[in-house]
Amino acid sequence: MEAFLHANNNLDVLPSKIREYVEEKIKLCQPSNFHVCNGSDEENQQLLSAMELSGVIRRLRKYKNCYIATTDPRDVARVESRTVICTKNMNDIISTPKSGFAPITDPNLPKNLKTTQLGNWMDTDEMLEILEKRFAGCMRGRTLYIIPYMMGPYSSPYSKIAVELTDSPYVVVSMRIMTRVGSNVFNEIKTSDGSDVVKCLHSIGVPLPTDKRVNPTWPCNPEQTLVTHFPERNEVISFGSGYGGNSLCGKKCLALRIGSSLAKREGWLAEHMLIMGVTNPEGVKKYFVAAFPSACGKTNLAMLRPVGLPGYKVECVGK
């Protein structure tokens, strides 16, 4: 499907602080092509058309600009057991349980992984060595997309700058919805010292051609999936999953996991939150901000339909 995209493979448009990182990952992942995303409507439409033609998405005819993607049933949720925070010092992330650490029985998980109810930890260098092997040649036959994005408005002192490299066009079009994607981000990078740019690397983990049995419309590698975070390096590395919570690195990975580390250093709070607007029958609109943990009903509240409340209007601003 990459043939349908007019690829922009000019790395000269990248700030020098990012170009070196991109060139390093291109050499590691060995994609057939690469494309620097600009976030334009034209680019988005090209990707949607290509995915529709190849069966990755289907248009919902009764709704404007809506599509459905049918995923591999093995890749439909976040994978807590394979989500890891990597630092030099384990006690920065987890404590040793009184009963000791349980042995790792899954042959696809690193043997030195430390797991607790509060999270999973592994030494940075050990995890990077494992990831180097998984990512070697993982994008053969595919296009590597370079996505410059921001979490928050341009020029805001509270916004976070990031770049994600991925071999999934589904991730590209989804990131355009979830974040601010575009060449304007490069201007933001140029005005910074580069140390605050969060670098994200993602692959579905299925190079082409492949002798593995995969869902042709949703290739993934659930046996080898790892979603790893390096707060001391401002880095996210995710392998094997196309599911949004694992592949859209601005979402849980940056906003909450790396975000909590940034917040500690910078003096703010990272939390699951929603913003909604409620207009009463008199036309008075109030905005609400709510911070809840997982599984407390944030989505249901943010997407509330005021059934039985005539004249009320509820709008989701963000969640």
144 and 290 co-located in one domain: no
Q: How far apart are CA 261 and CA 301, in angstroms?
A: 28
Backbone angles phi, psi at 236, to 5 degrees: -130, 135
In this structure, the answer to whether residues 181 and 233 fall within a common structural domain is yes
β-strands 33-36, 160-166 pairing: unpaired
Domain identity same for 187 and 314: no
Judging by DSSP bridges, how do beta strands 57-59 and 67-69 pair with one another?
A: antiparallel
Same domain membership, residue 169 and residue 70: yes
Cα–Cα distance for residue pair 76/297, rounded to 1 Å: 20
pLDDT of residue 83: 98
Instruction: Report yes or no on 242 lying in a domain.
Output: yes
First-residue to last-residue Cα distance in the chain: 32
Residue 42 and residue 153 in one domain: yes
Q: Does residue 113 form part of some domain?
A: no
Give the residue numbers marked as catalytic: 296
Q: What is the pTM of this model?
A: 0.92
* Residue 234, domain member (yes or no): yes
Cα dihedral 155, 159, 161, 162 sign: negative
pLDDT of residue 4: 47
Asked whether residue 49 is assigned to any structural domain, the reply reads yes
DSSP 44-64: HHHHHHHHHHHTSEEE-TTST
- Cα 204 to the center of its chain, rounded Å: 12
Domain count along the chain: 2
Are residues 32 and 136 both part of a single domain? yes
pLDDT reported for residue 6 = 61
96 domain residue, yes or no: no
Specify whether 144 is located in the same domain as 183: yes
72 token code pair: 């591999």
Tens digits of per-residue pLDDT, 40-93?
Answer: 999 999 999 999 999 999 999 999 999 999 999 999 998 999 999 999 999 999
CB atoms within 10 A of CB 69: 16
**At CA 261, angle to CA 256 and CA 263, rounded to 5?**
80
- Rounded CA gap, 51 and 284, in Å? 43
List the chain pLDDT tens, one digit each, 319 residues.
444 456 778 898 888 889 999 999 999 999 999 999 999 999 999 999 999 999 999 999 999 999 999 999 999 998 999 999 999 999 999 999 999 999 999 999 999 999 998 899 999 999 999 999 999 999 999 999 999 999 999 888 899 999 999 999 999 999 999 999 998 898 888 777 777 899 999 999 999 999 888 898 999 999 999 999 999 999 999 999 999 999 999 999 999 999 999 999 999 999 989 999 999 999 999 999 999 888 889 999 999 999 999 999 999 998 8
> Do both 262 and 295 map to the same domain?
no
Find the domain containing 288 and state its range: 273-318
Out of 266, 293, 308, pick the residue that ends a domain. 266
Whether residue 191 sits in one domain with residue 280: no
Q: What was the pLDDT predicted at 213?
A: 85
Distance CA 159, CA 262 (A): 12
CATH of the domain at 45: 3.40.449.10
- The answer to whether residue 94 sits within a structural domain is no
Q: Which residues of 180-212 are buried (b: 16+ CB within 10 A; e: fewer)?
A: bbbeebbebbeeeeeeebbbbbbbbbbbeeeee
Do 169 and 223 reside in the same domain of the chain?
A: yes
Domain contains 117: no
> Is residue 38 in some structural domain?
yes
Q: State whether 36 and 169 are in the same domain.
A: yes
Q: How many CB atoms lie within 10 A of CB 165?
A: 25
307 shares a domain with 161: no
Instruction: Give the model confidence (pLDDT) of 267-281 as tens digits.
Output: 999 998 999 999 999
Distance, CA of 4 to CA of 175 (rounded, Å): 19
